[in-house]
Structures are given as structure tokens and as C-alpha cells.
Structure 1
Amino acid sequence: MTAAAKTSSSVTATCLRVAAKADRIENVALGIEQRTLACVRPGDALVEIKAAAINPSDAKATLGLMPHAVFPRTPGRDFAGVVIDGPAELIGKEVFGSSGQLGIGRDGTHATHLVVEASALVEKPANISLAEAAGIGVPFVTAQEGFRRSGMSKPGETVLILGLNGKVGQAVTQIASWQGARVIGVVRKDEPYAGHAHGEVTVIDSSRNDVAATVRELTGGKGADIVYNTVGEPYYDAGTKSLAHLGRQIFIASTKATVPFDIFAFYRGKHTFFGVDSLSLSSPEAGEILRELVPGFASGALKPFPIKPDAIYPLQRAAEAYVAVLGSSRDRLVFQPNG
């Protein structure tokens, strides 16, 4: 059925703007501009942003580290808010969403309002706040897309997560344990798992232990059915040596472009490697992935990241927030553009 016709309303939005790339995050020139936004294409929706997460990729894109980033633009990939224009059945709905395009190749979510495809909007479960919904985005989309590509983890399988306490690592842990898999996670120092899980998460401190040998010991010599490598090259060797026969490894990032590749181990182990690039996902594609996770959030099986009061920023403190997200902060940071 064709969506109902939109009204012709427009809004004056307050938008964070980045005009050009910088050499260091401390030198990024962020401005605030007033811009007129309206639904102009069939299928558009206009959302009043109540919260917008601040991702490391948002800050990195201001440094020119994303080759398809355009300038000038409004940054921001994740959002939650209320639909104020668009298809009639969506008006007044509390929604959230994410994207690989928003804030990178087109104007994004670090603003008081956003025009986006209505098909990208996901209705927010009633049991989570708008700030929490805004924080789901990139980490859970990335985590779920890896499992969609490689095959969802199953009861009885072992999932090894390299970079356990990063936001994607925590999302992977939640999804894998929700599906009944055993989770083993790798950290760089002596620390416990920081997130939510269904059941015990075995933690390996890579600064003190041989990761592959420990995984073999924990699995009776079998190895991990799935290695979810959220770090890339630093853990490539450990992850590959931890794979079970017929194991699959998922990559989402790396610090270096190349690694030593043992082709004998690869084909003798019948391994499969999967690459996940969340930046390639359109807003509607990200929305489709998030809808798969909504039942988990609605039931309480999946938990959004906690949003601490001191992790909430106004747009006027954007420069400070961008430095924090690339620095020592491990909190989920969000803007509340409308106060």
C-alpha cells in the first residue's frame, strides 16, 4: 500500500557542521548552523531528534579517515526521536535508527532534526528510553550484520570475541549468548567483562595468556566455531589459530591493511572469513537489521548500553565530546540536541 501523503511542513533545524577535515581531533572546527529541513522526496520522514549517539567513526570521519566522507556536512550516524512529518501512520511515533551513510556521505544526526527515509525508522520498544535507543545503533547493527553474514551462532557453539569490552564486542556477546552460544572474550589487560550477557562469559587476558592455547584448552581441543574479530590485525594470528575445523572468522576493523596469511591452515581447516563494513549499509538496510533485534530489546533479553548523566552532551559541547569518544572514555556518549 502506498504511504499516505506528507504535509508540506518544514523546520529550522540547529545542526552541527564540519566544514573540512582536520589533522587532529583537537583541531576539528565544528560550527553550529540553522538549516531549513523538509520532506522533499516520496518516502521521506522528518524526525525531531531527542538523542543522537556519538560514535568513534563520527569523530574519525572529521579527520578524513573515511574516504567517501563529504565536506561540509552534519555528522552523526545514530539517532532516536519523534516523527513530526512524513507517512501519516508514523506521525508522533518514537523511533530510532542508524546508517552507514548518514553523517558520512550525507547530512547526519547531530542536529535537532533529521530528514531520512521512512523505511529506515524503527519503532522504539516502550521499555527503553530514547537516549538508550540512540545508543543501540552502530554497535548492534555491526554485531548482527556479522552474524547475518556468517550464520547466527547456535546453542552448543563457541564464539570467541576479540575486543570483548568494546561496544561492538559487548553487542556480539549479548546476541551470541541470547542465541545460546558459549562466549569466550579476549581483553588486553586484567579486567572483567563490562556488559550484559545470558550466562557466564569466560575472559582471557591476552597480556598474560596465549589466546589460542587457552581457547583450545577451554574447548577440549576443538577451538572456536566463530571468531568475531573486532580489532583486526593485532589479534589476527591469535584468532586464526583459535578457529575450529570449519570455523568462521568475522572482521569489522583493523589497524593495518595486511596480515601474514597461512593458506595451508586456511584451506586445511576449511575456514571461512567474512568482512563487515557498516559504512556500506544504507539507512533502510540498517533499519532492517535493527528490526531483527527489537524483540530482544522489547523482552529485556537484550539490554541497551547504559547512558550516564555525564555522558550526555549538548551540541555546543561537540568538540569536547568528539575528543572524549576517541580518547579514554568507555561510556556510550550521546547528544541531546533539543535539551
Structure 2
Amino acid sequence: MRAVVVTDLAGPSAIVVREVPEPDSAGLVLIDVKASGVCFPDLLISYGKYQIRPEPPFVPGTEVAGVVIGAPEGSGFEPGQRVLAVSSLGGYAERVAVHPNLVLPIPDELSFEEAASLIINYQTMEFAFARRARLQPGENVVILGAAGGVGTSAIQLAKAHGARVIAVVRRDGADDFLREIGADDVVRLADGWAARVRELTDGRGADVVVDPVGGDAFDDAVRALAPEGRLVVIGFAGGGIPSVKVNRVLFRNISIVGAAWGEFLRHEPSALAETHAALVEHVRAGLRPLVKARYPLSSAAEALVDLEAGRVLGKAVLVQD
């Protein structure tokens, strides 16, 4: 079968597409892959910068959607069933074998491409809002890095939870797009953005700030919080890992919480099915994952380069040539 192979830990430049052996599917669900999500863990793992650090050569890919070819007896899956799956490796291929606990049914409302997009970003943000931030209807949510995959899923899910959304974005030309998917206001990520958030919230500040950026934006994200506000740390796409003086947390009565979805699943694997069920309810209420860029499997390196360069609005997926 054909697969995308990382030949060296040098990023997209060390990626090739070639024939590889079929996956060993003993005790696993074998999936005919129709679409694979393109996400930051895939990019990081190609550089050897992710917490999982396989030695090359290996096939990357963590988000897949496709059709069951074969499944273990008692797994609850059967050939021909449409499924999505979380796979730490192997998703950038024509077929992948995944543990049954990491395979989920696709809602009838979604295409394979949409289903492949309803995995890491949407699961992370549903976990972040529902479990970590305890988001309530009517609260003000500020989302940094709003035009990327995490940001767009955050906008949609914050609206699904009944919040008011302020999108904070660095790139130009995305304002109309962000408003179309639910942002009530759009603020440029530049000097003074936290003060602008306070203006838009009548001086109160944000009840929840979603920060997948880190770096220089972090201090202003803390300043943008209202009393009892929650800053949800998703990642560090800006490159730097910031720190905070805890006296600011104490005297301003704010919370800083992490939302490391993959790590949480290692301790609470039952949360995957629970979070997926919540997402399915959002889908039935009208939510649709934003697939904004499609690449053939043979162009996986190009997709990762575009992701790294910030050229992807919303979500990118790989489809079979």
C-alpha cells in the first residue's frame, strides 16, 4: 500500500510517498482510509519535537476517517462501517490499524473529510470548554490564534455552548471568515489588544481566554481576564513557553488551567467516547467541521509546509489520490 513516510527528523522536507507493508491488524480495527486530518502533532512529530518520538522511517498521521475492512470479534465494529479514529501514527496511508478503543462511529450527517476534522481540534476544545473551563452560556470567550484549526473549532464550539466570542488574530484578511463562522468581534493581535477586549466587554474582561499561542501573547491574555476568569492553555504555537507570577493569579482571583487532551486520555480513556458523544450532539444541532483545504495523499509534505507557514484557514485534510 502507499503511505507517507518520514525518512529523517527534518520536517516536511524529509517526507516521501512510497509503498510500505500492510499494517499488522491482529486484534485491531483495519480501516480503509478515505481522509486524514492534517494537524500540528503531525508536523511536530516530523521534526522529532513531539512527546511521541519514533525513529525514522515511520508513517505519521493521527486523525483518520474511513471504512472498516476488518475488526476483532466483540469490538462492536463490522466491515463496511464508517468510522473515525485517533491513531498516534500511521494515518497518512491507504490503510491503518487502530485499537478498537480509539475508533468511533461517524455521524450520518458528516462526510469522511468532515469526520477526519472532528478529531483532535474539536475533541480538545470540547474538553477545554466543558471540563476544564466549565464554560457557561452568555460568558465572553476570547480566542487567540483564531484563524487556525484550533481557533476555528474553538469559535464554533464556544458558540455551540452559548458564549459570546471575540476572535484575536494576527493574519490579515481573515476577519470576514471569522465572523461567518461565529465570531461576534474580531481584534488584531497587536499592541493594545487586551485593552480592546476590555472595551468590547464593557470594561469587565474575558470570562475565558483560549491560548494555543503562548509566547509574547500570554501576559496580555492574563491581563484580559475578568475576575474569576479562566485562561485555558492549549499549546505554544508562538514558540515560547511563558511563565506567570502566582501573585497575579491570587490577587486577581483568576485561574490558569491546562487542556492537554492527549495526556488526559492516557489517564481517563473513557473520556474519548464521552467527548465524542457531546460533539455528535453539536453536529446534530448544526455544527459542521470546517474543511478549508484539501490535498492528495501524495502532497502531504506541501500540506504540512502550508500548515507551518500559517497558510491554512480552518482545517486541512489529505484525501486518497
Give the structure-2-normalised TM-score.
Answer: 0.87
1:35 aligned partner, one-letter code: P
Relative to structure 1, is the Cα distance of residues 194 and 286 closer, same or farther in structure 2, using a 3 angstrom cutoff? farther
Q: Does 1:320 align with 2:302?
A: yes
Map of 1:171-182 to 2, 5 A cutoff? 171-182=153-164
Q: Does 1:66 align with 2:50?
A: yes
How far apart are 1:320 and its partner, in Å? 2.6
Query: In 2, are the aligned partners of 1:160 and 1:183 still within 8 Å (CA)?
Result: yes
Hey, what does 1:252 align to over in structure 2? Answer: 234
Relative to structure 1, is the Cα distance of residues 244 and 162 closer, same or farther in structure 2, using a 3 angstrom cutoff? same
1:77 aligned partner, one-letter code: T
Q: Distance in 1 between matches of 2:208 and 2:183?
A: 17
Relative to structure 1, is the Cα distance of residues 153 and 193 closer, same or farther in structure 2, using a 3 angstrom cutoff? farther
Name the SS for the 1:194 alignment partner.
Answer: helix
Hey, what does 2:185 align to over in structure 1? Answer: 202
- The Cα offsets for residues 193-218 of structure 1, whole Å up to 9 and x where unpaired, read as 524778552111133x6122222222
How far apart are 1:180 and its partner, in Å? 0.9
Hey, what does 1:45 align to over in structure 2? Answer: 29
How far apart are 1:118 and its partner, in Å? 1.5
Of the three residues 97, 102, 107, the one matched with 2:85 is: 97
- The size of the alignment, in residue pairs, is 310
Q: Distance in 2 between matches of 1:80 and 1:232?
A: 31
Query: In 2, are the aligned partners of 1:160 and 1:228 still within 8 Å (CA)?
Result: yes
Q: Distance in 2 between matches of 1:336 and 1:322?
A: 14
Hey, what does 2:217 align to over in structure 1? Answer: 235
Query: In 2, are the aligned partners of 1:78 and 1:134 still within 8 Å (CA)?
Result: yes
Hey, what does 2:199 align to over in structure 1? Answer: 217
Query: In 2, are the aligned partners of 1:120 and 1:288 still within 8 Å (CA)?
Result: no
Of the three residues 275, 279, 284, the one matched with 1:298 is: 284
Q: Does 1:30 align with 2:16?
A: yes
How far apart are 1:64 and its partner, in Å? 1.3
1:329 aligned partner, one-letter code: R
2:46 aligned partner, one-letter code: T
Q: Distance in 2 between matches of 1:233 and 1:322?
A: 22
Q: Distance in 2 between matches of 1:146 and 1:288?
A: 13
Relative to structure 1, is the Cα distance of residues 152 and 263 closer, same or farther in structure 2, using a 3 angstrom cutoff? closer
Q: Does 1:146 align with 2:128?
A: yes
2:251 aligned partner, one-letter code: R
Superposed CA RMSD in Å reads 2.4
Hey, what does 2:66 align to over in structure 1? Answer: 81
Query: In 2, are the aligned partners of 1:251 and 1:274 still within 8 Å (CA)?
Result: yes
Hey, what does 2:98 align to over in structure 1? Answer: 116
Query: In 2, are the aligned partners of 1:178 and 1:197 still within 8 Å (CA)?
Result: no
Unaligned 5+ runs, structure 2: none
Query: In 2, are the aligned partners of 1:136 and 1:305 still within 8 Å (CA)?
Result: no
Relative to structure 1, is the Cα distance of residues 312 and 31 closer, same or farther in structure 2, using a 3 angstrom cutoff? closer
1:55 aligned partner, one-letter code: C
Hey, what does 1:268 align to over in structure 2? Answer: 251
Hey, what does 2:5 align to over in structure 1? Answer: 17
How far apart are 1:288 and its partner, in Å? 4.2
Name the SS for the 2:219 alignment partner.
Answer: helix
Query: In 2, are the aligned partners of 1:247 and 1:269 still within 8 Å (CA)?
Result: no
How far apart are 1:163 and its partner, in Å? 1.4
Q: Distance in 2 between matches of 1:240 and 1:150?
A: 17
Q: Distance in 2 between matches of 1:69 and 1:215?
A: 39
Relative to structure 1, is the Cα distance of residues 25 and 177 closer, same or farther in structure 2, using a 3 angstrom cutoff? same
Q: Distance in 1 between matches of 2:235 and 2:71?
A: 36
Relative to structure 1, is the Cα distance of residues 56 and 263 closer, same or farther in structure 2, using a 3 angstrom cutoff? closer
**Deviates most, 284-293 or 83-92:** 284-293
Q: Distance in 2 between matches of 1:139 and 1:120?
A: 16
Name the SS for the 2:47 alignment partner.
Answer: coil
Unaligned 5+ runs, structure 1: 1-12
Relative to structure 1, is the Cα distance of residues 29 and 306 closer, same or farther in structure 2, using a 3 angstrom cutoff? closer
Q: Distance in 2 between matches of 1:93 and 1:242?
A: 46
Q: Distance in 2 between matches of 1:237 and 1:271?
A: 13
How far apart are 1:263 and its partner, in Å? 2.7
